[in-house]
Amino acid sequence: MSRQSLCISLSVLLTLGLLLANTADAAPPMIKYQAIKPLPSQFQNPGINGGSALNRIPRIDPAVVSLQVRLIRKISPYEAQIAIVGAVKNVGNKDFRSGRNQQSAVLIKNIPGARRPIVLQQRAFTNLNAGASFVVMQTMNWRTSVEFPPSFKLYLSYDPDIRLDSNPLNDDAILTNNMKELDGMKINEIVRRMLR
């Protein structure tokens, strides 16, 4: 094949390639789009129409919702009478119904270096309606000059066999919200501010 024939062949191929490319750009393939149906109401934005999705799931959920320090009275610039106040609430939307001695709220004191915590309060409960709450409280004198102050913990204690008692009305749905702690150094900061 001569050089001239080769050049003509390449020119024809190049022209055909450009023609095909322009045709492809001019007429893209047809794509069918489907209309998106709205989500059912139970899956829509949780902030609209009835609160969060979690609130609409039937559940029984006793929880420790707070553990705080309250000032009762000032004794000196470095000492006060305080109350450690915890609150337990059924944050679920179904009532908690149980038997006696199956559950309680326990407030303990952990002293640095001590082998075991000290139980300050243990409040047993049997029934806790959805949205209902109760308080666990311990008063004491507090000196901000103590170098290694104790810490406190409020937690829910259940009978180990509570899920095997054939009573679904005392099965706590969420166990991760059953405890709160107050660090002793944090309490020192709070009490110092109260004593100013």
Ramachandran angles phi, psi of 33, nearest 5°: -105, 135
In angstroms, the Cα distances linking 83 to 55, 71, 137, 156, 166 are 32, 6, 6, 20, 39
**CATH code of 112's domain:** 2.60.40.10
Q: Do strands 62-76 and 79-90 pair parallel, antiparallel, or not at all (unpaired)?
A: antiparallel
Answer whether residue 87 is part of any domain. yes
In a domain, 40, yes or no: no
Q: What pLDDT sits at residue 27?
A: 47
Check residue 11 and give its pLDDT: 62
**Predicted pLDDT of residue 87:** 97
Max Cα distance, the chain (Å)? 113
| Residue closest to 67 by CA, chosen among 181, 184, 155, 189 | 181
- At 52, the amino acid letter reads S
pLDDT at res. 82: 97
Residue 14 lies in a domain: no
Any domain includes 132: yes
Classify residue 18: in a domain, yes or no.
no
Provide the pLDDT for residue 56.
77
- Can you tell me the distance from the alpha carbon of 102 to that of 47, in angstroms, rounded to the nearest whole number? 36
Question: Is residue 170 a part of any domain in this protein?
Answer: yes
Q: What percent of the chain is helix, strand and coil (3-state, nearest 5)? A: 25, 35, 40
pLDDT in tens, the chain (196 residues): 565 665 566 565 666 555 555 554 544 445 444 444 454 544 444 444 456 776 778 999 999 999 999 999 999 999 999 999 999 999 999 999 999 999 999 999 999 999 999 999 999 999 999 999 999 999 999 999 999 999 999 999 999 999 999 999 999 999 999 999 999 999 999 999 999 8
Q: Specify the pLDDT at position 125.
A: 97
Q: Does 8 map to a domain?
A: no
Domains in the chain, number: 1
Residue span of the structural domain in which 177 resides: 58-195
- Check if the beta carbon of residue 129 is closer than 8 Å to that of residue 93: no
Supply the pLDDT for residue 39: 47
Residue 163 lies in a domain: yes
3-state secondary structure of 97: strand
